[in-house]
């Protein structure tokens, strides 16, 4: 089992986070948009992935430090326009 930080809470980041989580990994997801994190914590859904329920064991954070610190893997899932 790995501790994985996912930078990016869009469709790609969430889809990968879900797969990694269902495979037994500890996953934390970060977004640069605080309101996006608030909505994900509250609803456990993304309106662009309406059929996907986000597993309860995925953690969401507004802290870039938290998503990066003490991770075995950091996954960068951000659209290139924001890089």
Give the max Cα distance, the chain: 32
Identify the segments of the chain with pLDDT beneath 70: none
What are the strands of the beta sheet with 73-76, ordered from one edge?
A: 59-61, 26-30, 3-7, 73-76
Query: pLDDT tens digit string along 60-78?
Result: 999 999 999 999 999 999 9
Q: What is the pLDDT of residue 2?
A: 98
Q: What is the pTM for the complete model shown?
A: 0.94
- List the chain domain ranges: 16-61
CA–CA dist 9, 7 (Å, integer): 7
DSSP 54-82: PPTT-EEES-HHHHHTT-SEEEE---GGG
């Amino acid at each position: 089992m790995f501790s994985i930080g996912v930078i990016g809470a869009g469709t790609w980041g969430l889809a990968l986070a879900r797969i990694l989580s269902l495979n037994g990994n500890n996953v934390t997801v970060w977004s640069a948009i605080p309101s996006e994190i608030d909505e994900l914590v509250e609803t456990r859904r993304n309106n662009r992935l309406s059929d996907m329920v986000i597993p309860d064991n995925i953690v969401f954070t507004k802290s870039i430090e938290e998503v990066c610190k003490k991770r075995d893997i950091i996954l960068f899932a951000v659209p290139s326009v924001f890089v």
